[in-house]
């Protein structure tokens, strides 16, 4: 029997705190549970929605009847250390906070630029999350994932389709476990991480519920710059707006709704299109 909860408040499952009610959310504890859920999805025709920390996800209001599958009970990991490397094998629900504590403890290099991203391993790999010139696929070695028919596949990095904030897993598949490889470092990794976190604190609105970067950066230009120049920094629709601190961060000032968020995004897409002839592409994942 796979654990589940009914009538779940989705605003509590995403960091921007917007969304309606999920009829049911499943909490698998093993790869067998996930395989079973993918088969249920196929038989029932219900769309499977994997849920990580929800830091890149927004839900519509109302009742949602998808097959929501949280990774919050998939938190096992192991670390194998050799003289100059370490390999961490982590289930999808392992948080970046856990990885940060490991890389600090063993002074490992390769993850430090990603350290402040509020992610789960599964969500970060699905999004190919990145920061400060690095992305998670720089260190991914292997992904174990289950396809829509319930088949478990082990893919090495070069067998996976990925790009800037994009992977094949955004179209299909549930990431179960990921292997990442890191180098032992001669630099002071805890200190570098501390500096990155400080910089994030200065540049990002971490005092309000947010879903991070709203739009992907178009080629050669930052989405935040375009939004700022289009007069949208600090612009609000009701309780949802683009942060005063970082124009590409959408924030919830209190009782933000999905309709307000949608209007905000449409306004931004329209204005940036008119001013610059650039079509913005959403980075946040909207579940309707
Ligand atoms: C304050 C803040 C700062 C941020 N900074 C950054 C940043 O610097 N760089 C960056 O890239 N992002 C950033 N983000 C966005 C977000 O943190 C990343 O995209 C992160 O990787 C999302 O991880 P998650 O576990 O929250 O994924 P979720 O939001 O839960 O999910 C994201 C997508 O991945 C899918 N997914 C989740 N788990 C799985 C799985 N096991 N298998 C298949 N698909 C899955 C979901 O269905 C969804 O489509 C930031 C967000 C916030 C709120």
> What distance in Å separates the CA atoms of residue 261 and residue 284, rounded to the nearest whole number?
11
Give the residue carrying structure tokens 């007069």: 231
Stretches where the chain sits below pLDDT 70 are: none
Q: Is 38 helix (H, G, I), strand (E, B) or coil?
A: helix
Per the structure, how many domains does the chain have? 3
| 154 and 144 Cβ atoms separated by less than 8 Å | yes
CA distance to 7, 69, 234, per residue, from 230 (Å): 40, 38, 11
Please indicate, yes or no, whether residues 129 and 105 belong to a single structural domain of this protein. yes
Mean pLDDT rounded to a whole number for the chain: 97
Domain's final residue, options 33, 49, 70: 70
Note the pLDDT of residue 252: 98
Please indicate, yes or no, whether residues 167 and 93 belong to a single structural domain of this protein. yes
Please indicate, yes or no, whether residues 58 and 87 belong to a single structural domain of this protein. no
Q: Which range of residues forms the domain containing residue 23?
A: 3-70
Torsions phi, psi for 262 (to 5 deg): -60, -45
Please indicate, yes or no, whether residues 35 and 87 belong to a single structural domain of this protein. no
Strands 240-242 and 236-237: antiparallel
- For the CA of 93, the closest atom of ligand 1 is 41
| 257 and 18 Cβ atoms separated by less than 8 Å | yes
Tens digit of each residue's pLDDT (9 = 90 or more) over 85-139: 999 999 999 999 999 999 999 999 999 999 999 999 999 999 999 999 999 999 9
Note the pLDDT of residue 166: 97
Please indicate, yes or no, whether residues 40 and 119 belong to a single structural domain of this protein. no
Contact residues of ligand 1, CB 6 A cut-off: 15, 49-57, 71, 92, 117-120, 122-124, 126-127, 129-131, 169, 174-175, 204, 206, 210-213, 285
Please indicate, yes or no, whether residues 155 and 139 belong to a single structural domain of this protein. yes
Please indicate, yes or no, whether residues 174 and 91 belong to a single structural domain of this protein. yes
Give Cα 267 distance to the centre of its chain. 24
Given its phi and psi angles, is residue 151 left (phi above 0), alpha (psi -120 to 50 degrees) or beta? Answer: beta
């Amino acid at each position: 029997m796979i654990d589940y909860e009914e009538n779940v408040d989705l605003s509590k499952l995403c960091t921007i705190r917007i969304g309606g009610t999920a009829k049911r959310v499943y909490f698998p504890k093993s790869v067998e549970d996930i395989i079973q859920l993918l088969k249920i999805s196929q038989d029932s025709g219900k769309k499977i929605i994997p849920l990580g920390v929800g830091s890149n996800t927004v839900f519509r209001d109302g009742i949602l009847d998808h097959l929501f599958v949280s990774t919050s009970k998939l938190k096992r990991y192991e670390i194998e250390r050799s003289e100059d490397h370490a390999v961490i094998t982590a289930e999808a629900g392992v948080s970046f906070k856990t990885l940060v504590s490991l890389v600090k403890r063993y002074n490992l290099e390769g993850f430090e630029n990603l350290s402040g991203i509020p992610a789960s391993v599964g969500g970060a790999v699905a999004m190919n999350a990145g920061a400060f010139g690095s992305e998670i696929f720089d260190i991914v070695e292997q992904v174990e994932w289950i396809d829509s028919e319930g088949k478990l596949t082990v893919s090495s990095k070069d067998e996976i389709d990925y790009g800037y904030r994009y992977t094949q897993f955004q179209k299909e598949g549930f990431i179960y476990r990921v292997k990442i490889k890191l180098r032992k470092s001669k630099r002071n990794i805890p200190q570098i991480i501390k500096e990155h976190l400080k910089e994030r604190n200065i540049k990002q609105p971490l005092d309000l519920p947010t879903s991070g970067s709203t739009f992907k950066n178009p080629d050669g230009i930052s989405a935040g710059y375009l939004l700022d120049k289009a007069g949208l920094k600090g612009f609000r629709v009701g309780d949802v707006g683009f942060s005063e601190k970082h124009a590409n961060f959408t924030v919830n000032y209190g009782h933000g709704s999905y309709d307000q968020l949608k209007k905000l995004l449409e306004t931004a897409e329209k204005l940036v299109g008119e001013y610059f002839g650039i079509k913005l592409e959403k980075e946040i994942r909207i579940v309707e």
